[in-house]
Structure 1
């Protein structure tokens, strides 16, 4: 198996001054603010509005990026193209392939708009358009509706002529959870699987297990609030069902995974457990564990050098999946 697909990567370079500053700032501001806001339905609505306003500030994408709105059944989304525009020094995109991106935010906050710093870069390094899905979220919607939206969007891509081996799933945090749940659901229902999936800081364990790892080390996520959100989101469900907590899933037959996390994340342990479980089930996993990075640090690529370095790794992973498929006799690959 290609070393870019099945490998552990733990960068050891010195922490940038930007990362040190960001960790301190997040620990002193966003973490205590999150501990206050993530407590009631009303406060979640306030948090969502604040984040949405921040996400709409200018400068999140360069002028060479194109964004086009899209709708899929009960939800909407946006096509993000990170190259192929006039005066761009990036290569043209392969419009026969696509990344289906599922944003994070604990299933309560954020949207494709807030995650454009990830989606446009992901489009550029994979040389394909990204469809960022604005799936239904809480508190007014349930997990089953979020999953239904993601599956509907995937089926819509197939109906539009995208070959499954030309589709890559990607997501961060709750979106990483949704990507894993999608893979399990697609396989269990006998539907064609995508070429690969990329999960950034996936929230994979929504069970009632207390999150002890990095409980105090995480510079952004308050562990108690993550546990509270999990209880809210899984109310009335079996929280050890693999579609609810993918960390308990059987990954047999699934395509290659790329999992990115940090040594100090509250969610680090469950991301590592998914990687170990998938490998035990015969799935190649590129597992990247970066030193002392914030949760979903790729979202901070405008300011963190480490975050900018992780995107070429995603591109190499997708390229390696494509090469492996061609070597195995696949005519159309990721």
Structure 2
């Protein structure tokens, strides 16, 4: 399912068996059945990640336990030859530059990782960030924003603002910056855009949100309807986490619920979701609101895939294809 501004397809003629396999993966489109590899990967992730998260108690100690476990995974993430990684100190937090090949240094992609605002890291996302750099032909600045339970989504937003300001001070024009993220990072992407607009700071050229957590209160119907088909997130755990973040706050605060925000004036926006995830309706409804507000928005819905499937691009062909779609969206949007 693809809706919104058109995205051209790039064709090439593969010769070797490996090239043919890569070609088939890159040319996968939303709307078809999942590949066999994606189906198997989804079951494995559901058995391991969702089960592990489900077993964590709703407590400060539980969040830290899960955070430590996923942090250990990040330490074994590698990148292929030809990809460089360099650290950047932003003051309150750090980030890392990921460059695949010889990217255009005049442009940049600021990436905000997912993880419910309490786990995840730039290092954990290296397998997707190097592909993002390769497909878009620009360096990726992957932000390691501060995490719960010691920090809040507002601290993460401050870190995202600091990263954007750092890019401006480094000489990047707003029109040469793209911002994106998945899950909680998709929420942070939207919150960043709204906060930049509120402060009348020039917005980036475009934004990309994969499986975005658009409303921390988890009010959309798919949180209930897709609770069993969801392969990554235990719906009840995410709802508890969202209530914790929103406690004492206005539930309609656009920084907590961009799903209900005025989206007028935002840059071209690509929203990507999967049909069986609990955040599906968040993305669908945000797309409709964005189009109604005059935003040049596009929406892709992939069938039979897991939440934030781009993270699993090493194992899921559709994850690799999604980066080609992102690159085509940016080209069409003039970013």
Q: Normalising to structure 2: TM-score of the pair? A: 0.89
Q: Show the counterpart of 2:21.
A: none
Q: For residues 46 and 167 of structure 2, what CA distance do their matches in structure 1 show?
A: 40
Residue 27 of structure 1 deviates from its aligned partner by 2.6
Query: In the alignment, which residue of structure 1 is the partner of 2:270?
Result: 258
For the Cα contact (< 8 Å) 1:81–1:128, is it kept in 2?
A: yes
Q: Report deviation, 1:49.
A: 1.3
Tell me if structure 2 keeps the 8 A contact 1:10–1:289. no
| Distance in 2 between residues matched to 1:272 and 1:2, nearest whole Å | 15
How far 1:82 moved relative to its partner? 1.3
* Alpha-carbon shift at residue 55 of structure 1 (Å): 1.6
Partner residue of 2:316?
Answer: 304
* Structure 1 residue runs without a partner (length 5+): 85-92, 323-333
Q: Could you tell me whether the CA contact under 8 Å between 1:138 and 1:233 is conserved in 2?
A: no
Residues 1:52 and 2:91 are matched in the alignment: no
Q: Which residue of the other structure, out of 163, 174, 178, is the alignment partner of 2:184? A: 174
Map of 1:1-334 to 2, 5 A cutoff?
A: 3-4=6-7, 11-37=30-56, 39-58=58-77, 60-84=78-102, 93-207=103-217, 209=219, 211-322=223-334, 334=335
Distance 1:258 1:106, change over 3 A: same
**Deviation digits for residues 115-144 of structure 1, max 9, x if unmatched?**
111111111111110000111111111222
How has the CA–CA distance of structure 1 residues 38 and 79 changed in structure 2, closer, same or farther, with 3 Å as cutoff?
Answer: farther
Q: Give the aligned length.
A: 311
Shift of the alpha carbon at 1:208?
A: 5.9
Q: CA deviation at 1:19?
A: 1.4
Equivalent position of 2:15 in the other structure: none
Quick check: 2:5–2:296 contact (8 Å CA) kept in 1? Answer: no
Counterpart CA distance in 1 for 2:196 and 2:225 is: 31
Of the structure 1 ranges 215-224 and 298-307, higher mean CA displacement relative to structure 2 is found in 215-224
Q: Deviations over 1:258-313 (max 9, x none)?
A: 11110000000111111111001000111110001111000010011111111100
Q: 1:2 to 1:141 in 2, by over 3 A?
A: closer
Report deviation, 1:230: 0.5
TM-score (norm 1): 0.89
Deviation (angstroms), 1:83? 1.3
**Cα drift, residue 228 of structure 1:** 0.8
SS in 2 for 1:209: coil
Where structure 2 has 5 or more consecutive residues not aligned to the other structure, the ranges are: 9-27
Cα distance in 1 for partners of 2:189, 2:57 equals: 24
Comparing 69-78 with 205-214, which one deviates more in the overlay?
205-214
